[in-house]
Amino acid sequence: MSGTDRTPPGFAEFVSSRYPALTRYGTLLTGDRGHGEDLAQEALVKTFRAWRRLHEQGDPEAYTRRVMVRAAWRAGKRLWRREVPAAAPPERAAGGDAYADRDTAEVVLEALRGLPAAQRVVLVLRYWAGLSEQEIAAQLGCSTGTVKSRASRAIAALRQAGGPLAEAFTENGPHQPVRPVP
Amino acid sequence: MTQPLRELLDDAVAGVEPGSRDPVASVMGRHRAARRRRVVAGAVACVLAVAAAGGALAASRHTVNRPLPPVGVVPAEPPTPRVVDGVIVAGALRLPIPDGWRVTARGSGEQCPPWDNEVMIHRVGAADCSTSSIRVSAVRTNAYPVGSILEAPGDDVFTPLPLFTLRGGEPALVGEHAFTTSQTTMVLPWSRVEVDFYLDGPASRAIVDTITTEPTGSGRLNLPASVRSADFTRPDASGKFTLASHGRITDAATIGKVTSLLRDQRKVVSPEDACAAPDDPGALLIADAFIVVTLGEDCQEAFSDQGGRVKLSDSAVRELTRLFGIEVR
């Protein structure tokens, strides 16, 4: 490891202690554990680069989570040079009870994965992180109208797909967001 | 199922354990890999450029009797940004270092040190480098944003990013919210250079206005020899993008007509005549190469990120629209 790569004081401890939680957050934002961990690591690279400022004056975890959210949001907004649009949409599973004999967690993550990235990010911020539409708009750099439409489309898509997330919305209506305990 | 949504989501990830046993080593490894990637990208780009040059050569043999202008090409390898007499030079880009700014030195204990193969400048005395710096780097991989994904009822629609013509004629792509937020990324595909402005919008825009360029990617549109599918999205008569304004073709015969039509456009736009501006309506054609078509009233031109920029006639735009089965209402 070169000199410039040596971890500054406190960084290793921060990563070690918060990495599992950040990976879980990334999993929610992407609907996939592997991509979620990838998102967390990419964000932590940025945190590393800004560590001196963050360690002394800032909140490194909040910064890392913000970077993750914005990266997940941008991933859903941009068409990248390396991407070629698929000629046909992926095939959907045939009818029947798709949820029988399957772990609820697996079904929930699959439902999240099925959402476009922008809708998934808004859904997680609104109903898991408990942010207001205004707070989400500020964090994502978009209008509250965009936040509303993404949330509305996400809920409609979940209802259409069925499963536990759909039932959570259908039976009780969208729950009032509750801020997570830090 | 009556669990609150948040509980469901919490439960869904409660059992998620990181795959990495040593996350610190993973993060630091990723940090180092980002540096190495540039070297690998250079090698890949070299291979791609040789292939593209081969395709261009083959095409020119077929048309040996026709006085076609040459196909535009992008450099085989991304440039190494450097500072020459107070000016950042990277590919076609010439960015004078503004008064009151200085080059951020490597290993100088700065908050945000420059990466390898990157020139970074910052405003002298600024407290926060994340809001007062500019990074000029080679495009690290062959990946950079070329469009936006617009959600429309039924499916996503690919739309073009705003296209700038920098002073001197080099085309540059910027994000949808460029110069309105505290970070703006500008990509010069022909030069394989990326400029990241960590500045407020007006300050970034003012610095962009000082940039001059010396483009080398002019020529006819550079397209891959083989294209398996193509997408075209253009705005409708009201300027909006909808599903109806998007078409995708996969049959070889139609793709052949599209690529021939594009390759045969011979009115090459010289750097001094280039006119695309971010406020012009634009269309996006994806045929492995990404082609932004500017549809301004006084400026109708097509630019390929693989090289080449040509004027497009109304009839060519109409024919493209027809081949993709798009009805413009």
Facing residue for B24 by CB, picked from A12, A85, A127: A12
Residue numbers in B near A167 (CB within 8 A)? 1-2
Distances (CA, A) of B153 to A65, A91, A154, B105, B158: 30, 19, 12, 50, 13
The answer on pLDDT for B38 being more than 70 is no
Q: Same domain for A107 and A72?
A: no
Strand partners of residue B177: none
The residues spanned by each domain of chain B are 33-77+141-193+217-329
Residue numbers in B near A152 (CB within 8 A)? none
Classify residue B27 by burial, with Cβ atoms within 10 Å: 0-12, 13-18, 19+: buried
Contact: B151, A118; criterion CB under 8 Å = yes
Closest chain B residue by Cα to residue A40 = B27
Residue numbers in A near B6 (CB within 8 A)? 127-128, 130, 175, 177-178, 180
Instruction: Give the tens place of pLDDT for each residue, A25-73.
Output: 999 998 888 788 888 998 999 899 888 888 777 889 999 999 999 888 8
Q: Same domain for A62 and A108?
A: no
Residue numbers in B near A168 (CB within 8 A)? 1-5, 8
Contact: B16, A77; criterion CB under 8 Å = no
Instruction: State phi, psi for B232 to the nearest 5 degrees.
Output: -140, 130
Residue numbers in A near B147 (CB within 8 A)? 78-79
Residue numbers in A near B141 (CB within 8 A)? 82
Residue numbers in A near B127 (CB within 8 A)? none
Residue numbers in B near A102 (CB within 8 A)? none
Work out the mean pLDDT of chain B and round it to a whole number: 83
Pairing type for strands B183-188 and A78-80 reads unpaired
Q: B60 pLDDT band (50/70/90 cuts)? A: very low
Contact by Cβ (8 Å): B262, B223: yes
Q: Checking phi first, is residue A94 left (phi over 0); if not, alpha (psi -120 to 50) or beta?
A: beta
Q: Is A168 on the interface with B (CB under 8 A)?
A: yes
Facing residue for B23 by CB, picked from A19, A24, A118: A19
Q: Same domain for A113 and A156?
A: yes
The answer on pLDDT for B249 being more than 90 is yes
Contact: A53, B176; criterion CB under 8 Å = no
The answer on pLDDT for A180 being more than 50 is no
Alpha helices in chain B (DSSP H): 5-14, 23-62, 201-208, 252-263, 314-323
Q: Which of B92-96, B202-206, B312-316 has the highest mean pLDDT?
A: B92-96
Q: Same domain for A178 and A115?
A: yes
Smallest Cα distance from B6 to chain A, Å: 5
Rounded Cα–Cα distance for residues B50 and B191 (Å): 16
DSSP-derived 3-state class of residue B91: coil
Contact: A85, B1; criterion CB under 8 Å = no
Rounded Cα–Cα distance for residues B183 and B203 (Å): 11
Q: What percent of chain B has pLDDT over 90?
A: 42
Smallest Cα distance from A39 to chain B, Å: 11
Q: Same domain for A22 and A67?
A: yes
In a domain, A89, yes or no: no
* Residue B1, amino acid: M
Contact by Cβ (8 Å): B157, B167: no
Q: How many folded domains does chain A comprise?
A: 2
Rounded Cα–Cα distance for residues B110 and B124 (Å): 12
Smallest Cα distance from B311 to chain A, Å: 23
Q: What is the pLDDT of residue A110?
A: 86
The answer on pLDDT for B150 being more than 70 is yes
The answer on pLDDT for A17 being more than 90 is yes
Smallest Cα distance from A171 to chain B, Å: 7
Residue ranges of A 40-79 with Cβ closer than 8 A to chain B:
40-42, 44-45, 48-50, 52-53, 76-79
Q: Is A4 on the interface with B (CB under 8 A)?
A: yes
Facing residue for B27 by CB, picked from A41, A52, A76: A41
Q: Which residues of A86-109 are buried (b: 16+ CB within 10 A; e: fewer)?
A: eeeeeeeeeeeeeeeeeebbebbb
Rg (CA), chain A: 18
The answer on pLDDT for B27 being more than 60 is yes
Q: Same domain for A57 and A21?
A: yes
Closest chain B residue by Cα to residue A125 = B6
* Interface residue of A38, A39, A45 to substitute, partner B, most B CBs within 10 Å: A45
User: CA triplet B234, B235, B240: central angle to 5 degrees?
Assistant: 150
Residue numbers in A near B18 (CB within 8 A)? 19-20, 23, 37, 40
Rounded Cα–Cα distance for residues A169 and A28 (Å): 18
The answer on pLDDT for B136 being more than 80 is yes
Smallest Cα distance from B169 to chain A, Å: 22
The answer on pLDDT for A3 being more than 80 is no
Closest chain B residue by Cα to residue A128 = B6
Q: Which of B28-32, B61-65, B172-176, B257-261 has the lowest mean pLDDT?
A: B61-65
Domain that includes residue A21, residue range? 10-79
Q: Which of A79-83, B17-21, B199-203, B260-264 has the highest mean pLDDT?
A: B260-264
DSSP-derived 3-state class of residue B292: strand
Smallest Cα distance from B108 to chain A, Å: 11
